[in-house]
Amino acid sequence: MIFDVVHQSLQARQRLIPVQALLGDAKGSRLPEVNGRSLTPQLAERAVAVCPTSALTLHPIPGGHVQLRMDYGECIACGHCAEAAASAFHVTEAFTRCGVTRERLVRRWDTTTGLEISAELGCDPAELAREIRSLIGRALNIRQLDAGSCNGCEAEITALTNPYYDLERFGIHFVASPKHADMLLVTGPVTRNMAEAVRQTFEATSAPKLVVAVGACGCSGGIFAGSHAVVGAVDDVLPVDGYIPGCPPTPAMLMTGILEVLRRWKQTMRTGQAKKPRPLRVSSSRLGLTAGD
């Protein structure tokens, strides 16, 4: 009996997803995309009015036009904009801005012409796929750090290690101790109770101490931004190397983001621009630390 099961398993079709199919895939993330051709000032106003965060905002620009600003770092993927202004907004299935800088999570459109202003390309999945094998010369160890999340992001991160996504095929492992880690994958807004633990975990992490802010909460504080219990986003406490938006980001987006941060880090190493420590944006008193800590 057991040999029949083993035999059938060996005969079964390979279900591991090729990396090319994962990079840039955002199915299930519910992140919005703007259809510039259909965008009008009225539709933009309608979408901004229903956005529960400040992910969508309007700003006057020269020429009497109005700019629509979309900050994916603050988007909680509720889908309200796509419902209220369906012709100009839709839920996207492809998203490559994972693991990028905070600025690159922000996009802008002229609502009168529908044109994207200073459009920046996200990472190219094909180019990234080509680089992956040459990038990881050794294992990359990741410590996942929950700074106060709802655990939605953790559920997606857990899926990275299952046989379907199989992050370990790239030599990327999750480890229990920051002392063994090269990268911190930080989820949630940083709560007051966790701020000191987050800081100490970063101190204990091995070089190069790469930090990735995960989810709307990690990128901007998400729906918890402004709460008295929250210190802020991850970059209010730690120097962040890359941001992965979403609420929560899908495993494919997490994988795209981790690999993109790795690629950008390798580039800075090649050009000799090593990571420099950045002063914290939040004062010690706001972190709840006393003098002498």
Q: Which residues bind ligand SF4 (CB under 6 A)?
A: 32, 50-53, 55-56, 75-81, 149-150, 152-153, 187-188, 215-217, 222-223, 247-248
- Minimum separation from the CB atom of position 134 to ligand SF4 (A): 32
CA distances from 181 to 126, 196, 263, 274 (A): 28, 19, 17, 18
Please give the DSSP secondary-structure letter assigned to residue 94: B
- Minimum separation from the CB atom of position 50 to ligand SF4 (A): 6
Nearer to ligand SF4, 141 or 187 (CB): 187
- Sign of the Cα torsion 30, 233, 142, 195 reads negative
Rg (CA), the chain: 20
- Minimum separation from the CB atom of position 165 to ligand SF4 (A): 18
Nearer to ligand SF4, 145 or 150 (CB): 150
Nearer to ligand SF4, 128 or 154 (CB): 154
Nearer to ligand SF4, 148 or 263 (CB): 148
Nearer to ligand SF4, 128 or 194 (CB): 194
Distance CA 93, CA 138 (A): 32
Backbone angles phi, psi at 70, to 5 degrees: -115, 120
**What is the b/e burial string over 91-110, where b = at least 16 CB atoms within 10 angstroms of the residue's CB?**
beeebbbbbbebebbbbbbb
- Minimum separation from the CB atom of position 153 to ligand SF4 (A): 4
- Minimum separation from the CB atom of position 285 to ligand SF4 (A): 26
CA atoms within 13 A on the CB side of 9: 6
